[in-house]
């Protein structure tokens, strides 16, 4: 947070009796100031007072304790934005007495009262920050409840309070018979200036050589900033409500852990830290984490006898090597902890500040805390033992705090998970508890096992994710090839219309006859099982005739899109080496002249040699479902396209599943518009032809024209549509889509991640259609998972669904082991749809297609997708982007898809793509966002005046507006630096985004922060305030307080001084709006409201409305 060596708090001269806040008090004070309604810094202790205890003597003893400990006589004040504390000579405790003895259930009411009070924030300034409550249950039983704020006390102080209270009570009730011991007397008679003495020592430490040595140690230790454990939760505006879940760890297991720790020369603290670090790094795919470990931070015997706020957090960085054993990790944690202990005095706030965590949106180095707590201490009161039990509020400082409560040496041990309700659902934490228990049992069973191999799941959960959610078996006819399904439909109704193209129709019988003639000719040219035939044709009747003919001849087609560059087509031809090349005249002469060793057939030639061939179906001969149906080329990471070989059995399974899934019938009409080189075209063509439906072929390049597509859909009565999301968005932006698509009953999305916003827009415009989100790489035959949009869907992301028939999807970690529900892993695909491999690439095939360890089928394989995902609790899969699209920038793991989703949520953004690129400047990798605006949805309020803005790309939205939007919804490290505004994204020939064609950001893509003078009285006041406080000569309206050198303490001073000028501001306002112009919009002149006196007469016993006067609060 702050540079504690240079703040005004150390330079300021304090009046006699005034003391600065210690470095640890400063952290608490600032955080509480930013979150005034949070009880997170409250804690308390309650003890049962039985009838043997003298109540009056106990309360008298409490007064004595308050007089003995100066920390209990502390009040805090602020002057010119600087906090200080004063210690009064004496106080009246004024214990609050609550009588619950007449309640129906006094114990239950007492519990409610304790919960109410522990969650009630203290008034920070000019008030006592502790109080006492005596709760009467009945004549024989009371509870004494003491509540503290962490500014004046810490957990270690509970035992000091108990001992001091016991000694004072015993002295009162025993009188002259009370025996004084040296030890007790030393505690009781210590000077009342003890904590104030520590404050002076703390101030001296901040300018000492020891401070410099400690700083060097910590800065060296965190020179490489580790990622947060829960990156989506680290940027919270204030404390969050927390809940807790308890795990009772049986004493036998706990003692085994303790014995293992002792055998390695370690403690149970080290054991539990190693266990938690191991679990979190495993499930969050991290190599190291930082855990916050609270320490009492009392470095000498006198401080250990002193009441007050000493406690600090030790940021313990733990690196986990999964190849080593748990005992090795245990020893490393012990060694690292011992190494850090001598430097525990150094303020963690100084580490935070030096690492500039505030500008990165992180509150602390750690977002997980761990603490060993003595659940209760027993204190003697004149021979009667009283248990002092700790109470904490329902408010979270971290995403997750884990407490280990040891009640006694005989009882079981409680492990409590206090978790932020903003970050976790209860079921998430329960799953965490179960997995840690499994991990613990495995460690105790084999302490030398490599920790990366230790299990995380129960047998039941493993069975669920491996078997139950992959139970996709479906009984489809066996031994069938793809074209045979078509031939069966021809036999049923040969006169039915099969194809529609540009107003012309072709029946099933005629289509089959033309395909048969060509097939017989291809066989005569030597085409047979696994022979490859190139197909370079535009969309039309000839395309479908050619596809069917190749399959009927026994060969496999290789689509060659005429729109591809000649060099790309030449590369595919050379790699595939087809026996025959079919074309329709659209292939360029330059390509054909390189095919001297290939038989070339023009499907539109007048002199077609095959027209006299037989129209009967060719005999199948040696062709089997294990032979190839097609080989489609996909882009490769090296730029070299690779041919994916798909067999008949794979595509037949997919076709039969989709026919069942959509319940397609002969009356359906399917629009075929996907380019042939994109595997989504496969189902578009073959599924309707396998059920007797009608296939409408869009004209060449027609898939890029929304107006044309709308006309075709309307005129031909299309009932089934397929779009990749980027094309769907462009299609829906066209007017009249809803009317054109009235008859559409199925809309399928695939090929890209489907944003929630687009899903909802499809539903809005096409309410009668069923919406399906499909996922699958070419290497697994079109689609392998499917999800149908349910009514009332409110998810934050669109799942990709369940595995389709006879396929399996496994989500595995880096070792190839299944991950639990909710944990990110890589998607692996198994089952009948897995492709044969890559054409002529045995090395790449062996790398990507691996043996399936989960299958009993001989030679079964898995395809490694490179995609990330996780199981949801309902058994569907959530897609989380590409493994190679996860980038790490300045210590943060970033999913680019999350940023894209945020930008798409902007009112005038139609689509967004984010890429990481080397900026060429100091700082290395930065994020660039590419944005296409949704002009139809832009309102005057949302759209920037593009032509006048220095940060505009001229297409309807301002770069600054986009950056501001991202900054409001994302952590700072995820906010792109550059914003390229585009009319449309470059697409590949198959209609998918072409990332390689995205332009390099130029100067206009960056927000320009040129100096602009403050505008208006409020901005001028703010500028003068910042200039004086920060020592900056010229402050502009776009300057950021923290970029100019401001920090937490200076923020408090700034607000205090601004209030003196008449502006109404809160410290939180400056953190939310640190830019001067933005803060000016928040600021408002303070208005004095005169409250009239009421009209309640003296001695009144009942108040009537007429006695109360109201004040007009309107400005």
pLDDT tier, 1094 (very low <50, low <70, confident <90, very high otherwise): low
Q: Is 133 helix (H, G, I), strand (E, B) or coil?
A: strand
Q: Are 863 and 896 in the same domain? A: no
- Top mean pLDDT of 66-75, 586-595, 935-944 is at 66-75
Lowest mean pLDDT among 498-512, 586-600, 787-801, 958-972: 958-972
Long-range contacts of 771-775 (CB under 8 A, 24+ apart): 771/747, 772/661, 772/662, 772/746, 772/747, 772/748, 773/749, 773/798, 773/799, 773/800, 773/801, 774/748, 774/749, 774/750, 774/800, 774/801, 775/750, 775/800, 775/801, 775/877, 775/879
Q: Which residue has the higher pLDDT, 691 or 404?
A: 691
pLDDT at 308 over 80: yes
The last residue of a domain, from among 448, 466, 484: 466
Rounded to 10°, the helix 896-904/756-765 angle is 40
CATH of the domain at 801: 3.40.50.12780
pLDDT at 212 over 90: yes
Q: What is the mean pLDDT of residues 314-328?
A: 94
Q: Are 106 and 23 in the same domain? A: yes
Q: For strand 861-871 and strand 825-831, is the pairing parallel, antiparallel, or unpaired? A: antiparallel
Give the pLDDT of residue 98: 93
Give the pLDDT of residue 990: 54
Give the pLDDT of residue 502: 94
The last residue of a domain, from among 413, 440, 466: 466
Q: Is residue 174 part of a domain?
A: yes
Nearest to 437 by CA among 271, 279, 290: 279
Q: Is residue 685 part of a domain?
A: no
Q: Are 540 and 422 in the same domain? A: no
- Residue found under tokens 């011991």: 181
Q: Is residue 770 part of a domain?
A: yes
Nearest to 133 by CA among 99, 91, 169: 99
112-159 pLDDT, tens digit each: 999 999 999 999 888 899 999 999 999 999 999 999 999 999 988 988
249-277 pLDDT, tens digit each: 899 999 999 999 999 999 999 999 999 99
Q: Are 266 and 294 in the same domain? A: yes
- Top mean pLDDT of 599-613, 724-738, 1016-1030, 1035-1049 is at 1016-1030
**Helix, strand, coil shares of the chain as percentages rounded to 5?**
35, 25, 40
Q: Are 861 and 897 in the same domain? A: no
CATH of the domain at 482: 3.40.50.980
Q: Which two tokens stand for residue 737?
A: 């889509």
Q: Is residue 206 part of a domain?
A: no
Nearest to 992 by CA among 829, 749, 720, 686: 749
Q: Are 953 and 833 in the same domain? A: no
Q: Are 410 and 347 in the same domain? A: yes
Q: If residue 513 lies in a helix (H) or strand (E), which one and from where to where?
A: helix 508-524
783-811 pLDDT, tens digit each: 999 999 998 888 878 999 999 999 999 99
Task: Quote the domain boundaries for residue 633.
Answer: 475-667
557-586 pLDDT, tens digit each: 999 988 777 877 888 899 999 999 999 988
Q: Which two tokens stand for residue 1018?
A: 């409020």
Distance of CA 635 to the CA centre of its chain: 29
CATH of the domain at 948: 3.30.300.30
Give the pLDDT of residue 943: 31
pLDDT at 186 over 60: no
pLDDT at 3 over 60: no
The mean pLDDT value of the chain amounts to: 84
Q: Are 860 and 898 in the same domain? A: no
pLDDT tier, 900 (very low <50, low <70, confident <90, very high otherwise): confident
Do residues 646 and 783 touch, judged by C-beta distance below 8 A?
no
Q: Are 159 and 245 in the same domain? A: no
Give the pLDDT of residue 955: 42
Q: Are 882 and 905 in the same domain? A: no
- Residue found under tokens 């006299």: 612
Q: Is residue 947 part of a domain?
A: yes
Q: Is residue 1 part of a domain?
A: no
% residues pLDDT > 70 (the chain): 84
Do residues 1088 and 1111 touch, judged by C-beta distance below 8 A?
no
Q: Is residue 674 part of a domain?
A: no
CATH of the domain at 1096: 1.10.1200.10
Do residues 235 and 302 touch, judged by C-beta distance below 8 A?
no
Q: Which residue has the higher pLDDT, 941 or 523?
A: 523
Give the pLDDT of residue 895: 65
- Residue found under tokens 């297609």: 849
12-26 pLDDT, tens digit each: 444 447 899 998 898
Please state the domain count of the chain.
6
Do residues 954 and 1012 touch, judged by C-beta distance below 8 A?
no
Q: d(Cα 891, Cα 901) in Å, to the nearest integer?
A: 22
Give the pLDDT of residue 408: 55
Q: Is residue 688 part of a domain?
A: no
Q: Which residue has the higher pLDDT, 392 or 761?
A: 761
Cβ neighbour number for residue 820 with a 10 Å cutoff: 25
Q: What is the mean pLDDT of residues 640-656?
A: 94
pLDDT tier, 1022 (very low <50, low <70, confident <90, very high otherwise): very high
pTM score, two decimals?
A: 0.71
Nearest to 292 by CA among 415, 439, 401: 401
Lowest mean pLDDT among 421-425, 685-689, 745-749, 847-851: 421-425
Give the pLDDT of residue 233: 55
pLDDT tier, 7 (very low <50, low <70, confident <90, very high otherwise): very low
Q: Which two tokens stand for residue 1098?
A: 């003296």
Q: Going by C-beta distance under 8 Å and a sequence separation of 6 or more, which residues neighbour residue 819?
A: 283, 456, 465, 811, 812, 813, 825, 870, 871
Q: d(Cα 894, Cα 330) in Å, to the nearest integer?
A: 30
Q: Are 494 and 450 in the same domain? A: no
Lowest mean pLDDT among 81-95, 216-230, 503-517, 658-672: 216-230
Q: Which residue has the higher pLDDT, 1040 or 659?
A: 659
% residues pLDDT > 90 (the chain): 49
Lowest mean pLDDT among 79-83, 325-329, 518-522: 79-83
Q: d(Cα 671, Cα 746) in Å, to the nearest integer?
A: 11
Q: What values do phi and psi take at 765, rounded to 5? A: -80, -30
Lowest mean pLDDT among 129-133, 380-384, 393-397, 472-476: 393-397
Give the pLDDT of residue 969: 63
Q: Are 453 and 484 in the same domain? A: no
pLDDT tier, 1089 (very low <50, low <70, confident <90, very high otherwise): very low
Give the pLDDT of residue 4: 35
pLDDT at 509 over 80: yes
Q: What is the mean pLDDT of residues 701-716?
A: 91
CATH of the domain at 28: 3.30.559.10
pLDDT at 830 over 90: yes
Give the pLDDT of residue 959: 79
The last residue of a domain, from among 201, 234, 262: 201
């Amino acid at each position: 947070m702050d540079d504690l060596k240079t703040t005004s708090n150390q330079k300021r001269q304090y009046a006699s009796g005034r003391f600065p806040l210690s470095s640890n008090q400063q952290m608490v004070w600032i955080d509480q100031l930013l979150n005034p309604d949070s009880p997170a810094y409250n804690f308390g202790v309650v003890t049962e007072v039985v009838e043997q205890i003298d109540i009056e003597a106990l309360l008298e003893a409490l007064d004595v304790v308050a007089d003995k400990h100066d920390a209990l006589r502390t009040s805090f004040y602020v002057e010119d934005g600087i906090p200080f504390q004063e210690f009064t000579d004496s106080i009246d405790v004024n214990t609050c007495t609550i009588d619950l003895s007449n309640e129906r259930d006094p114990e239950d009411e007492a519990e409610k009262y304790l919960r109410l009070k522990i969650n009630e924030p203290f008034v920070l300034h000019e008030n006592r920050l502790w109080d006492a409550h005596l709760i009467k249950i009945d004549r024989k039983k009371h509870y004494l409840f003491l509540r503290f704020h962490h500014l004046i006390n810490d957990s270690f102080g509970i035992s000091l309070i108990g001992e001091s209270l016991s000694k004072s009570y015993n002295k009162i009730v025993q009188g002259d018979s009370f025996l004084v011991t040296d030890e007790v007397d030393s505690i009781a008679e210590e000077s009342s200036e003890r904590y104030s003495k520590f404050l002076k020592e703390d101030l001296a430490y901040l300018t000492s050589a020891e401070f410099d040595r400690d700083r060097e140690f910590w800065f060296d230790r965190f020179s490489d900033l580790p990622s947060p454990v829960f990156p989506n939760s680290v940027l919270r505006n204030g404390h969050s409500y927390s809940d807790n879940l308890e795990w009772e760890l049986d004493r036998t297991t706990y003692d085994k852990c303790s014995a293992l720790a002792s055998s390695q020369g370690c403690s149970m603290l080290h054991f539990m830290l190693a266990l938690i670090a191991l679990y979190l790094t495993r499930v969050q795919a991290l190599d190291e984490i930082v855990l916050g470990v609270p320490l009492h931070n009392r470095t000498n015997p006198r401080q250990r006898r002193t009441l007050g706020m000493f406690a600090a957090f030790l940021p313990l960085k733990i690196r986990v090597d999964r190849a080593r054993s748990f005992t090795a990790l245990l020893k490393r944690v012990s060694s690292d902890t011992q190494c850090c202990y001598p430097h525990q005095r150094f303020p963690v706030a100084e580490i935070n500040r030096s690492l500039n965590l505030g500008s990165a949106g992180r509150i602390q180095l750690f977002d997980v805390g761990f603490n060993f707590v003595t659940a209760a201490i027993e204190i003697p009161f004149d021979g009667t033992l009283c248990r002092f039990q700790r109470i904490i509020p329902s408010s979270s400082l971290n995403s997750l705090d884990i407490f280990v409560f040891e009640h006694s040496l005989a009882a079981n041990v409680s492990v409590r998970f206090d978790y932020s309700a903003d970050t976790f659902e209860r079921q998430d934490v329960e799953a965490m508890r179960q997995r840690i228990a499994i991990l613990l049992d495995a460690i105790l069973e084999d302490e030398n096992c490599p920790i990366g191999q230790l299990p995380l799941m129960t047998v039941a959960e493993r069975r669920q994710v491996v078997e139950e959610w992959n139970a996709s078996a479906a009984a489809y006819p066996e031994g069938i090839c793809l074209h045979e399904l078509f031939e069966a439909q021809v036999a049923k109704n040969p006169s039915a219309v099969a194809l529609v193209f540009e107003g012309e129709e072709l029946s099933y019988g005629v289509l089959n006859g033309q395909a048969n003639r060509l097939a017989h000719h291809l066989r005569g040219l030597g085409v047979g099982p696994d022979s490859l035939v190139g197909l370079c044709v535009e969309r039309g009747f000839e395309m479908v005739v050619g596809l069917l003919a190749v399959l009927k001849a026994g060969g496999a087609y290789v689509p060659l899109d005429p729109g591809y560059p000649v060099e790309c087509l030449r590369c595919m031809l050379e790699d595939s080496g087809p026996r025959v090349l079919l074309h329709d005249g659209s292939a360029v002469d330059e390509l054909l002249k390189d095919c001297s060793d290939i038989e070339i057939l023009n499907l539109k030639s007048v002199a077609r040699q095959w027209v006299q061939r037989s129209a009967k179906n060719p005999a199948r001969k040696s062709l089997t479902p294990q032979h190839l149906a097609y080989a489609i080329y996909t882009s490769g990471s090296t730029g070299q396209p690779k041919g994916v070989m798909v067999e008949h059995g794979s595509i037949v399974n997919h076709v039969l599943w989709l026919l069942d899934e959509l319940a397609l019938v002969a009356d359906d009409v399917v629009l075929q518009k996907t380019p042939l080189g994109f595997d989504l075209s496969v189902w578009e063509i073959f599924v309707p032809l396998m059920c007797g439906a009608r296939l409408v072929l869009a004209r060449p390049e027609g898939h890029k024209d929304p107006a044309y597509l709308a006309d075709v859909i309307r005129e031909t009565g299309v009932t089934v549509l397929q779009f990749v999301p980027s094309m769907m968005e462009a299609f829906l932006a066209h007017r009249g889509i809803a009317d054109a698509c009235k008859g559409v009953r199925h809309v399928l999305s695939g090929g890209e991640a489907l944003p929630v916003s687009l899903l909802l827009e499809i539903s809005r415009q096409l309410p009668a259609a069923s919406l399906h989100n499909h996922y699958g790489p070419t290497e697994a035959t079109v689609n392998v998972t499917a999800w149908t949009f349910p009514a009332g869907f409110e998810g934050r992301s669109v799942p990709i669904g369940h595995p389709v028939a006879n396929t399996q999807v496994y989500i595995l970690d880096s070792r190839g082991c299944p991950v639990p529900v909710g944990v990110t892993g890589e998607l692996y695909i198994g089952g009948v749809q897995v492709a044969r491999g890559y054409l002529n690439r045995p090395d790449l095939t062996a790398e990507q297609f691996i043996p399936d360890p989960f299958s009993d089928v001989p030679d079964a394989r898995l395809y490694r997708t490179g995609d990330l995902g996780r199981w949801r609790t309902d058994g569907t899969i959530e897609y989380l982007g590409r493994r190679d699209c996860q980038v790490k920038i300045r210590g943060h793991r970033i999913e680019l898809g999350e940023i894209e989703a945020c930008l798409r949520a902007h009112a005038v953004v139609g689509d967004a793509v984010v890429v990481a690129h080397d900026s060429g400047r100091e700082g290395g990798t930065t994020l660039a966002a590419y944005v296409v605006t949704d002009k139809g949805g832009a309102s005057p309020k949302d759209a920037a005046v593009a032509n006048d803005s220095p940060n505009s790309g001229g297409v309807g939205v301002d770069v600054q507006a986009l950056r501001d939007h991202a900054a409001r919804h994302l952590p700072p490290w995820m906010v792109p630096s550059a914003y390229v505004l585009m009319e449309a994204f470059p697409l590949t020939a198959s209609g998918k985004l072409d990332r390689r064609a995205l332009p390099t950001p130029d100067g206009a893509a960056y927000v320009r922060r040129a100096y602009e003078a403050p505008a208006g009285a409020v901005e001028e006041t703010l500028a003068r305030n910042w200039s004086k406080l920060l020592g900056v000569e010229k402050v502009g309206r776009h300057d950021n307080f923290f970029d100019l050198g401001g920090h937490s303490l200076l923020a408090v001073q700034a607000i205090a001084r601004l209030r003196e000028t008449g502006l109404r501001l809160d410290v939180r306002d400056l953190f939310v709006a640190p830019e001067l112009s933005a803060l000016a919009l928040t600021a408002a002149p303070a208005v004095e409201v005169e409250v009239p006196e009421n009209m309640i007469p003296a001695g009144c016993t009942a108040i009537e409305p007429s006695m109360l006067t109201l004040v007009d609060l309107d400005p």
